[in-house]
Amino acid sequence: MTKKGVIRCLMALLLAVYVGVAVFMANQAAARDKCRGFDIRILQADGSRDFVTETEIRRLLKEWKLDDTSGPTASVNLQKIEDNLSKVVNIESAMVQRMPDNKIRLTIVPMIPVARVFDFKGNSYYINRDGKRLTANARYHLDVPVVSGNFDERRSAAELIPLIEHLHNDSAWNAITSQVMVDPVTRDIILVPLIRGHVINLGDTADIPDKLSRVMAMYRKVMPLKGWEYYDTISVKWAGQVVATRRVKSIPEPAIRFDQEGDIEEEDINSMLVATDIDTTAVAH
């Protein structure tokens, strides 16, 4: 490197140091100035509604004895405020910053529920994608998937979040899913579709895309011909199979239809359940 290049590098380094020191000193000077209060901003994200209000945040700050802004800005414990806010059940995230105008800005995102849980003990609460709970009350009601079952510390409703998010992100399943249940005895996961007449047994949360694709194959190939109330349970808990349980024990006559040429064609509907093109197997009980 030439002598001129070395000088340029040194000058650039000195300038960077100067700017850093100047910014630091300016911040320190600003921090010594009197605090001008709190600037509370609540971001109402999609999926959240009235879970947090500015009035509630100011009440919490007073309750925690963190609302004193009579002194310099540096005397306000920003980290403690942020930590306390992050622990509040109806807050998804919180960020606390000291602004150039010596105000303390609190940026808060209310909790974004992904499901409402009803347990068999009579409790009801919302959960977010991290499993954080918010007790449900009449103040807010959100149109989110419903989950029911026996849940405790060992088996929580949060285990179903991957399934819930998959259903939400699939437009077809999001439109037809009414509820997700966990069987209290077998612990099988049961989908209750809006389509009346049957439920879907997924077993567990493994291979969800494959299981749902097998159900869709059943919906397209079999149900329109058999009837939507012919089966009471469609189970895809076993790999590569669709096990359908008949609602009634008697087997009706095969469907008979005419083609365009006028010939009678008898459709063996049951054979469609084992056809390789949909990779399913059905067992009627």
Q: Mark which of 47, 76, 110 sits at the end of a domain.
A: 110
Residue type, 114: V
The pLDDT of residue 271 is 39
Express each pLDDT in 58-83 by its tens digit. Answer: 999 999 999 998 888 888 999 999 99
* Residues 132 and 39 occupy one common structural domain: no
Mean pLDDT on 16-37: 65
Residue 257 pLDDT > 60, yes or no?
no
Domain that residue 104 falls in: 32-110
167 in any annotated domain = yes
Express each pLDDT in 37-57 by its tens digit. Answer: 999 999 876 655 667 889 999
The pLDDT of residue 249 is 55
- DSSP summary character for residue 72: B
* Residues 89 and 140 occupy one common structural domain: no
7 in any annotated domain = no
* Strands 146-149 and 177-182, bridge-based pairing: parallel
- DSSP summary character for residue 160: G
d(C-alpha 160, C-alpha 204), whole Å: 9
254 in any annotated domain = yes
* Residues 171 and 251 occupy one common structural domain: yes
* Residues 133 and 45 occupy one common structural domain: no
Mean pLDDT on 19-39: 68
d(C-alpha 241, C-alpha 282), whole Å: 7
| pTM of the shown model | 0.64
Q: Mark which of 51, 78, 110 sits at the end of a domain.
A: 110
The pLDDT of residue 278 is 38
* Residues 123 and 226 occupy one common structural domain: yes
* Residues 133 and 82 occupy one common structural domain: no
Residue 19 pLDDT > 80, yes or no?
no
Burial label, 259 (beta-carbon count in 10 A; 0-12, 13-18, 19+): exposed
* Residues 173 and 61 occupy one common structural domain: no
Mean pLDDT on 144-170: 87
**Mean pLDDT estimate for the chain:** 79
Domain CATH code at residue 74: 3.10.20
68 in any annotated domain = yes
Residue 222 pLDDT > 60, yes or no?
yes
50 in any annotated domain = yes
Q: Mark which of 94, 110, 126 sits at the end of a domain.
A: 110
* Residues 183 and 231 occupy one common structural domain: yes
Express each pLDDT in 89-147 by its tens digit. Answer: 888 899 999 998 899 999 999 888 889 899 888 888 888 888 888 877 766 667 788 99
d(C-alpha 238, C-alpha 214), whole Å: 11
Express each pLDDT in 186-199 by its tens digit. Answer: 899 999 998 877 89
20 in any annotated domain = no
* Residues 92 and 214 occupy one common structural domain: no
Q: Output the CA torsion sign for 120, 122, 127, 133.
A: negative
* Residues 76 and 192 occupy one common structural domain: no
* Strands 38-42 and 104-110, bridge-based pairing: parallel
Of the pLDDT bands very low, low, confident and very high (cuts 50, 70, 90), residue 267 is very low
Q: Output the CA torsion sign for 215, 221, 227, 231.
A: negative
* Residues 105 and 129 occupy one common structural domain: no
* Residues 127 and 89 occupy one common structural domain: no
Report the number of distinct structural domains present in the chain.
2
70 in any annotated domain = yes
